[in-house]
Structure 1
C-alpha cells in the first residue's frame, strides 16, 4: 500500500502541482486502496474504477491544472446529487436513481478540478447514526469492523479514514458529519447553513431543515477541511438560504481574543472518562497556544436539544410520510426504528409546530446572548466512541445513556444553525478515536476552523492499522 493515499489532501495536491505524481498515478493508488478495502468496509454506494481512470486520463491530457483541487480524488455522500452516480439515499424506494444534474456544491467541486471517485453509503433517508440499508448493506469502521463508522455520513468518514478518498462531502442535520468524524478519527465541519450551498441535497434542506441542515467538508486534517470550505463556500444566487457572506481570515492573535468556554458534559448525558480526558487535553493545548479557556456551559442546551428532537424526529417523519405511505415493508430496520421514535413522540399539531418554531428563535437569541462572553465553545463530540453495530444504549459513569441522547452534543449546534468542527484528540481504552468539538456563533465558520487547526496541529489524524495493510 502506498502511503500517498493516507497523506493530507494538501500534500497530494502539492505533489500533483510539482508533477511528482500524475493524476492517473494518484487515481490508481486510490483505486487499489478501494479494491483492497471496500470488500471489508462497504463504504461506497457507487464506484467504478474504469470511470475514474477515464477522468484521470482526461485531466492529465489537459495539461495545466484547471483549479485548486485539480486531480484530487474525492467522494460525495449519496444524498448529494452527483450527475451520473447513484444517489439513492440508501433506500429501496429510490433504487437506481441517478441524477442528471450536479448539486451546486458538486458543480463547484468539478469546477475546482476534483476527481470524483464515487458516492458513499448512508442510512436510509439519513435518519440514523449508523450506516446500514437494504441497498448497500452495512458500512464498517476501519478501526474495528465490528463497529459503526457512524451516520449518516458513515460511508464518507470510513472512506476518508481508510485512505480510499482524500476528502469529501457529507451532510449534517443532527451530527451527521461530526459523529462519523469522531468515530473514525478524521476532521469535519458542519458549516453555518448556506455558507456551503445546500441546493441539490436529497431531501432538500427546506423548512426546519434549512436551519438544522448543512453540507459539510470531511477530510483527515483541518487544513484539508479548510481548503474544501474555501473552495465550496460562497453565495448561491438560486438558494434562498445562501447568504452573501465573504470568506474571512483571522490571524492567531485575532483568534486568541475570543475566550473559549469549556464543558466536559451537559449535566444530563455523561461521557466516558477518556472523552473527558480528551476535552481537557484539548483545553490544555489551547492554553499553551495562548488562548483563554475557562469553564462555561450555556444554560439553554437542554431546551435546544428538545426542540431539535421536535424538528428532526417529529417533523422529519412528517416530511417522509407521503413517500413511504403504504411501502413500510420495503423500509430498512434502521429507518423503521427512526419512525418508531417519531411515533413514540406523537404527532405534531399545527399549533405545536408554530409554537416550537417561535420558541427556537427565542432560544437561539438567548444562547447568542450567553455566547457574548464566550463566543467559542470546546466540548465533547458524543458520550461514547464508536459503538458496535446494533448497539442502542450504553452504561457511562453508572448511568444508562440511550441512543439519541448519546449524540446530543452535536444536536445543539444544528438547532442553533451554528458552525462546529471535529478534531481527533484522544482514544478510548479499546484504542478507538475520540474527537472533540469546537463550535461558535453562526457565520463564524472561519473562527471554528482557525481554533480547530491549533488542535489538529497538536493532535490530529492517525491511520487505522487496516488502512496500512
Structure 2
C-alpha cells in the first residue's frame, strides 16, 4: 500500500472511530452512575498500600479483622454500581482474620513474620483462578455448577504469605475479550464511567481496586489482561517476564507450560506493592526477575514508540500522544544526560502486532472450541452464530466471533510469523540490553464504551505484542483526559529486567501523581 493510500485510510479510520464514539455516547452518557465516595473515617485505610497495611498489622497498629471488614463493607457499597463480585467468602475471611489477630496477640517472631510478609492482608482474584470451595465457571453456562476442589498455586502462595481471600471476581466468558461480561455473572462497569468497559479479562479486579475495594488484586495476562484493565481504570499493573509464575489452577493449566505467553501479575493503586507481590507468586524463580536490583537512573537508556503502523488498529488519539510527549519531555529534563536522551524506536514487526500475537496463540495449550464445551466436544462458530440470531446460543457474541476467527478465517503463515518475531526480538533486545526500556502506547484510546470493541476488535494489540515477545511490562497511569478518563503508557524491558520497568513506573508515579481513584473522598 502506498504512503498516500495509508494516510487516506488512516483519516477514514479516524473518522469512523469518532463516529462510533459519537453514536455510543448517545447511549451510554445518559444514565451512567458514579461510585459511592470513600468515607475516610471508616475506610481511610483502604487508600494505603498492601505493604503499609501489612506493616501496621505486624506492629499491632491495625487489626486484620478491621481491615478485612473494611474491604467487605466497601465492596458492598460499590458492587451494586460496578458488578465486580462473582462469589464472596466474607464470613470465612473474617474468621481467618480473627485467627491472624490472635496469633499476633500471642507474639510472633521476626522469622515468622518474614515467612508471611502479607499476614492478615485481604486479596481478591478473578474467578478463573481456582480457590478451593469457590465457583470455577470461567463464565461458561456449561460450567455454572463447577466448584474448585483445591487452590491454584498462586492462591496457595499468597495464602502461605499470610494473605486472606475475600472474594473471586467477574471475568469475560473464556477470558477471550476486552470487556468483562459473561452469561453467568453479567457485565462489570468501569468505575470512572459506568457506560464504559473496565477492560478484560481482569476488568473486575481493576474496577474494585480503582474503587478502593481491594487491597491485593491477583490477575493473569495472555494478551493484556492485567495491563488493559489497569490502563482503563487508572491503576498500575505489572506483567512479569512469562514463564516465571506458576500457572497451575488457572482454567485447565497444570503449571508445566513454561513456553507460554501467560504471566500472573497484579493490579495496584501503589507501584511499590508490585515487586514484593510478584516475588510471592514467582516463588523459587523470583531471583530470575532481579526484582531487588538497585537501578541507577543515570544508566537507563530510554526508547519510545509513538504509534504502530498496524492497519488493523485505530490511530492513537491526541490525548494519549500528549501523555507520551509529556513523559519524554519530563525524562529528558530530569533523568538523562544529553547523550542518553530518549530516542524513537521502530521495527517493521510493530506493523503486524495482532498477526504476530495470533500466531503465537496457536502455541498455547487451550483449544477454544473444546473449552467452550468443557472439553465434552467442540463448539462450531457458524452454528453458534445462527443459534445466536435465534436467541438460542448459550455463548456471548464475542466468544462466537473468536470461534469463527479460529475455525474459518485464514491462519497466519507460521514461517513468516516466526521469522519476523525473531527479527523483532533480536533488534529490540539488542537495543534495550539490561539497562534499556521502551515506552509505548497502551492502546489507541482510553476506556471505550461498552460493546464498541466489536467494531474495533484488534485495538488490544499494543498489549498483546508484549506477550508475544515474552517481555516484562508495567502499565503506568498518567492523569486523565478532558473527559476524566485515565491516560497512561506501558514501560517494557527485555526479558528478566522486571526491576527496570518497576523503577521507571515508580519515578513516573512521583512525577505524574500515581494512580487515579474512581471515587471521591469524604471525611
Superposition TM-score, scaled by structure 1 size: 0.88
Shift of 1:185: 0.6
CA contact (8 A) 1:177 1:190 kept: yes
Secondary structure at 1:307 match in 2: helix
Q: Relative to structure 2, which stretch is displaced further, 63-72 or 335-344?
A: 335-344
- Aligned equivalents of 2:196 and 2:183: distance in 1? 18
Does 1:391 find its partner at 2:452?
Answer: yes
CA contact (8 A) 1:285 1:455 kept: no
1:232 aligned to which of 281, 292, 309: 281
Shift of 1:101: 1.9
CA contact (8 A) 1:178 1:410 kept: yes
Q: Relative to structure 2, which stretch is displaced further, 214-223 or 14-23?
A: 14-23
CA contact (8 A) 1:142 1:466 kept: no
1:201 aligned to which of 250, 253, 265: 250
1:85 matched residue in structure 2 = 134
- Aligned equivalents of 1:26 and 1:93: distance in 2? 36
- Aligned equivalents of 1:244 and 1:14: distance in 2? 23
In structure 2, the CA distance between the partners of 1:211 and 1:371, relative to structure 1 (3 Å rule), is farther
CA contact (8 A) 2:347 2:424 kept: no
- Aligned equivalents of 2:521 and 2:123: distance in 1? 17
1:397 matched residue in structure 2 = none
Secondary structure at 2:283 match in 1: coil
2:11 matched residue in structure 1 = none
Q: Relative to structure 2, which stretch is displaced further, 138-147 or 289-298?
A: 289-298
Does 1:465 find its partner at 2:519?
Answer: yes
- Aligned equivalents of 1:94 and 1:346: distance in 2? 30
In structure 2, the CA distance between the partners of 1:277 and 1:203, relative to structure 1 (3 Å rule), is farther
1:180 matched residue in structure 2 = 229
Shift of 1:451: 1.3
CA contact (8 A) 1:261 1:376 kept: yes
In structure 2, the CA distance between the partners of 1:371 and 1:37, relative to structure 1 (3 Å rule), is same
Secondary structure at 1:119 match in 2: strand
- Aligned equivalents of 1:317 and 1:196: distance in 2? 16
Does 1:220 find its partner at 2:262?
Answer: no
CA contact (8 A) 1:123 1:334 kept: no
In structure 2, the CA distance between the partners of 1:456 and 1:281, relative to structure 1 (3 Å rule), is same
Q: Aligned-pair RMSD on alpha carbons?
A: 2.7
- Structure whose CA Rg is larger: 2
CA contact (8 A) 2:201 2:225 kept: yes
- Aligned equivalents of 1:337 and 1:421: distance in 2? 29
1:280 aligned to which of 302, 325, 332: 325
CA contact (8 A) 2:290 2:496 kept: no
- Aligned equivalents of 1:247 and 1:207: distance in 2? 22
Secondary structure at 1:233 match in 2: helix
Secondary structure at 1:45 match in 2: strand
1:56 aligned to which of 65, 90, 97: 97
Shift of 1:175: 0.7
2:370 aligned to which of 305, 308, 322: 322
2:493 matched residue in structure 1 = 440
CA contact (8 A) 1:157 1:186 kept: yes
- Aligned equivalents of 2:289 and 2:446: distance in 1? 36
2:480 matched residue in structure 1 = 427
CA contact (8 A) 1:47 1:117 kept: yes
- Aligned equivalents of 2:301 and 2:85: distance in 1? 41
1:19 aligned to which of 60, 74, 85: 60
Q: Relative to structure 2, which stretch is displaced further, 288-297 or 214-223?
A: 288-297
1:375 aligned to which of 402, 420, 436: 436
1:405 aligned to which of 455, 458, 463: 458
CA contact (8 A) 1:122 1:155 kept: yes
Shift of 1:317: 11
2:86 matched residue in structure 1 = 45
2:306 matched residue in structure 1 = 264
In structure 2, the CA distance between the partners of 1:200 and 1:59, relative to structure 1 (3 Å rule), is same
Which residues of structure 2 form unaligned runs of 5+?
Answer: 1-38, 385-392
Superposition TM-score, scaled by structure 2 size: 0.79
- Aligned equivalents of 2:117 and 2:434: distance in 1? 37
In structure 2, the CA distance between the partners of 1:208 and 1:108, relative to structure 1 (3 Å rule), is closer
2:178 matched residue in structure 1 = 129
1:229-286 CA-to-partner distances (Å, cap 9, x unmatched) read 1222233xxxxxx697264433342x43121101221234421111111112222333
Which residues of structure 1 form unaligned runs of 5+?
Answer: 236-241, 394-401
2:388 matched residue in structure 1 = none
Shift of 1:107: 1.2
